[in-house]
Amino acid sequence: MAMNVGSADEDDGVMSAINTTPLVDVMLVLLIIFLLTIPVATVSVPVELPKETIEARETKPENVILSVDKGGALFWHDVRVANVDALVERLKKVSVQQPQPEVQIRGDLDAAYDGVGRILYACQRAGITKVAFITEPPARGG
């Protein structure tokens, strides 16, 4: 048995060209993987978001209007409330009425969200189930 291993005369030169085929194959596979995973990553839970609507509400005398000014002070109608605990106590008295009146929150445009959050938390602690926000209507035609 004989085996041909080449002759001693052959030139053992170094190949100077780079084979890019494996690189292109890997890049195409990565592109396909990214194309398949991007839609899943952007929307993970299908949720239908509410549309902006303007609902004219009728202000009833039994409704409780709570306000927050720029400084974060809390007001029950036009009377300042000392702290959140005092607000909770007043809201507990209102929450037992039948039917329960609606609590309407007015927050100053420049007020911190903390003030409105304190009112919402006080409503939750007092057992208030109807809470609404009073806003300015948008300008007509714009």
Structural domain includes residue 104: yes
Percent of the chain with pLDDT over 70: 72
Structural domain includes residue 83: yes
Query: By residue range, what is the domain housing residue 82?
Result: 64-134
Q: What is the mean pLDDT of residues 73-96?
A: 91
Q: What is the pLDDT of residues 87-111, one digit of tens each?
A: 999 999 988 988 888 998 888 888 8
Q: What is the pLDDT of residues 114-124, one digit of tens each?
A: 888 999 999 99
Number of domains in the chain: 1
| pLDDT at 140 > cutoff 90 | no
Structural domain includes residue 34: no
Residue whose C-alpha is closest to residue 103's, from 62, 67, 131, 69: 131
Structural domain includes residue 110: yes
8 A C-beta contact, residue 116 and residue 68 = yes
Structural domain includes residue 36: no
Structural domain includes residue 100: yes
Domain of residue 90, CATH code: 3.30.420.270
Q: What is the pLDDT of residues 21-69, one digit of tens each?
A: 889 999 999 999 888 877 665 655 666 666 666 666 666 777 898 999 8
Structural domain includes residue 127: yes
Side-chain half-sphere CA neighbours of 120 within 13 A:
9
Structural domain includes residue 89: yes
Q: What is the pLDDT of residues 1-28, one digit of tens each?
A: 556 665 555 556 677 778 888 899 999 9
Q: What is the mean pLDDT of residues 121-135?
A: 89
8 A C-beta contact, residue 98 and residue 130 = no
